A and B are shown apart, each in its own frame.
Chain A
Amino acid sequence: MYVRTGLLAAGLGLAAIAVLPAAAQTPKKGGTLTYMIPADAPPSFDGHRETTFATVHAGAPFYSVLIRVPPDNPASTTDFVCDLCTEMPKPTDGGKTFTFKIRPDVKFHDGAKLTAQDVATSWTYIVFPPKGVTSARVSYYEMVDKIEAPDDQTVVFRLKRATTAFLPALADPFAWIYKKEQLEKDPHWYEKNILGSGPFKFAGYEVGQVIKGVRNPDYYHKGQPYLDAIEGVFADKQSVRVEALRGDRAAIEFRGLPPSARDQLVKEAGKDVVVQDSDWNCGNILTPNQRKKPFDDVRVRKALALAIDQWAGAPALAKIANVRTVGGIVFPGSPLAATKEELQQIAGFWPDINKSREEAKRLLKEAGAEGLKFELLNRNVDQPYKYVGTWAVAEWKKIGLNVEQKVVPTGPWFSNMRAGTFDVAMEANCQSVVNPVLDTGKYLPHTVYPENYGGYTDPKSIELYEKMQVETDPAKQRAAMRAFEKHTLDTMAHEIVLPYWYRIVLARSYVKGWKISPSHYLNQDLANVWLDK
């Protein structure tokens, strides 16, 4: 069975595509959900501190957040709903103040009542981390001026300026609400311990093996959770996860499997397995190092972009790697994204690849960089880094470039990029909540965005971005975004955006209630999941 929620159609030649009936079935209570977590153990269980999905997949069922993407429509890029609040507030004071009312019926798993004080303190630790406390996403919240809890039922966020980037940032899936008492007593306690107010209570953890939870009978969303218990099994190796799904030892794997695994499982398990897929808010980007000659020459960079046949490569790669959709700097599912026609105006996306490559060769010749030899720095991960890297190298070969891949483990990959000791780097750009305004900040020069490894300065780029950022009229914002995109990818060819990743989630067909979203960080508290058996 096949449920499609992605935006672009793709013919994969699989048998009978059936669509789930629109009418929802009544959830059944009971059962244990065993799911696979594609990682070795997470470094810690502290959501504020970590950035790995392993922490979210392991810990999210135990915690509550303030607001989140809607669990029954997590693919939405514009809606947010309350978890701990009573209703989504309208911003006041010119869009700079958000006042949240907290539900009165929430209890932590140890029985203590959860109040606005806990919410405010947790958020304070996230936005204004005290000395010695790590908050990995603190920069998302630079627009926040003050957080207040005037009483036990109210939390107020005061911003420095109005911006559409705030609410998506507030819905961050790592922003778990901790107990104020515990945080103040020992902020590092949550790294090894789990105490939340979420749908499941912590029931045990075997290092590197499995994490267990049982239903929270006092959960404030009445009727949920449907499951009696959950079991998250850590398995770094893909073949183990696929085997577990195939043999019904596990019911679902939430991150995403490559197309080969999907084809395999669908062929063998038939209707016992359901596939959900979606574009992924993650992608690879090729970044030429403009501190090194000849990558400081825009003609060379443009040639690199023109050589790559995105439109033909993406569907081919989609068969073996988890990429699919050709896109620009904005996530393809968002209203701010470019249409195919708009993309085709940009270098590297021209419909005629031969013309494109001719132009590339011409530019190289003009720049005196024919037959250029360089190294592509890539990360030692198969899916999809190495596949995409091998493909890019082959494409560059077609315009006479001689490229070798330098594949290194994660640590050296990062540090080489940060130190600027590379020719061209294959980066990854993964975001959680779709937030195009914030997400495209990645393409700003490093003076504004330190994690831009291209090593260039470009005041025009900053100007265009800021114009787009403050625009409130959707049509005008879209136009501004196109201008920023064209400048980044075509005029200056600072970066080359490769096909976006594609998330393929496989589950046994009795798993119901969970819907896929563009990010593997989202919608993981499992409160609305039930087993039809």
Chain B
Amino acid sequence: MTITARTPVAPGAAADELPEIQRSPLHAVRQFVRRQPLGTLGLLIVVVMFAAGAMAGWIAPYDPEANDFAAMMQAPSWEHLLGTDQLGRDIFSRLVFGARTALLVGFSSAVVGGVIGLVLGVTSAYFGGWFDLVFQRVLDVLMAFPLIILALAVVAVFGTGVVNVIIAITVPLVPRCGRVVRASALAVREVPYVDAARALGFSHARIVLRHMVPNVVAPFLILLSAFVGQAILAEASLSYLGLGVQEPVPAWGLMLQGGAEEYATTAPWIAVFPGLAIVLTVLGISLFGDALRDAIDPKLRDR
């Protein structure tokens, strides 16, 4: 495995690729769309979800928290596009406001958890020794620790609420990121290049940032996109167990809890639509993350 020179042309590579010239950003975008149709689809989905969340106040036909006992558990109709839930609340409105919560929780937890994990993982791989030892143990403990106890403790002590849910979800993400990043960084660390750089007097920070991090960026990004999705799913699981966001806040995970399961056979729309929303959003984020990673992977870029 080499880091430096690569042969400029390889069999199987895109033969029509021109040498890299700085083109307009528009061209880069068009290239992306052409090369990564799935990624574009994913991006579109994410953009739609973001827009829905941002403009929720305008596009939601009803107040997502307003009970309407005259209209409980109605099937989708012109009045209620996606039907109503067991308290008569419009599901479409709740879905749209729920996008806010989902994306907020998802991105916050993922970014915070991922960045902490990245920094710690790379540092640990680079320095090795005692630091790595202790760090590994802490990672092991946090990673194996069942989320439910953590979440319950956070909820019991700090109460429920979006911020506390984010805190609870961030914790298991850090070690998962740290571990994979560390594994990738370790593979790079052994290479003579790093030793040579040290011999030349480059600082730790410079070596780490300029040569180790770029090589772990690809798995890190794909992890990050996975994390956003996992955070949204973790929020759903916690809400299902009653430890996440609480009524009457509209949140997709919360909509899947309790009543949805009770009425799964008589009023399936209560459970189906929030679930689909989660699946779609996480799908979109993941597709886009994958495409992004394919596009900026340094190994590919060198061609």
Contact = CB atoms under 8 A, between A and B. Distances in A.
B233 to A, nearest CB: 21
A264 B73 CA distance: 13
A389 interface: yes
A320 B87 contact: yes
B159 interface: yes
Contacts of A267: 266
A469 B112 CA distance: 62
Interface residues of B, number: 26
A57 to B, nearest CB: 21
A409 B266 contact: no
Contact of A258 (B156, B247, B262): B262
Looking at chain A's contact residues, is the secondary structure mostly helix, strand, loop, or mixed? Answer: helix
Interface stretch (B27-35, B61-69, B165-173): B61-69
A389 to B, nearest CB: 7
10 contacts: A238-B262, A313-B69, A319-B69, A320-B87, A386-B258, A391-B67, A394-B66, A406-B246, A407-B242, A411-B156
Contacts of B156: 408-409, 411-412
B86 interface: yes
B248 A394 contact: yes
Nearest to A397: B65
- 5 closest A-B pairs by CB: A316-B69, A380-B242, A382-B258, A407-B246, A320-B86
A394 B67 contact: yes
B116 interface: no
B72 A319 contact: yes
User: Which of B65, B69, B160 gathers most chain A CB within 10 Å?
Assistant: B69
Interface in A237-270: 238-239, 258, 260-261, 263-264, 267
A181 to B, nearest CB: 44
A390 B87 contact: yes
A264 B265 contact: yes
Interface residues of A, number: 31
B155 interface: yes
A239 B258 CA distance: 11
Given A317-B69, A394-B66, A408-B156, 15 more contacts: A239-B261, A260-B263, A260-B266, A316-B69, A316-B72, A319-B69, A320-B73, A320-B87, A387-B87, A391-B67, A393-B248, A394-B65, A405-B246, A407-B242, A409-B156
Interface of B: 65-67, 69-70, 72-73, 86-87, 152, 155-156, 159-160, 242, 246-248, 258-259, 261-266
Contact of B247 (A239, A312, A313, A390): A390
Given A260-B86, A319-B72, A390 B242 contact: no
A485 to B, nearest CB: 28
Contacts of A408: 155-156, 160
A386 B247 contact: yes
A406 B160 contact: yes
A501 to B, nearest CB: 17
Interface string A300-318: 0000000000001100110
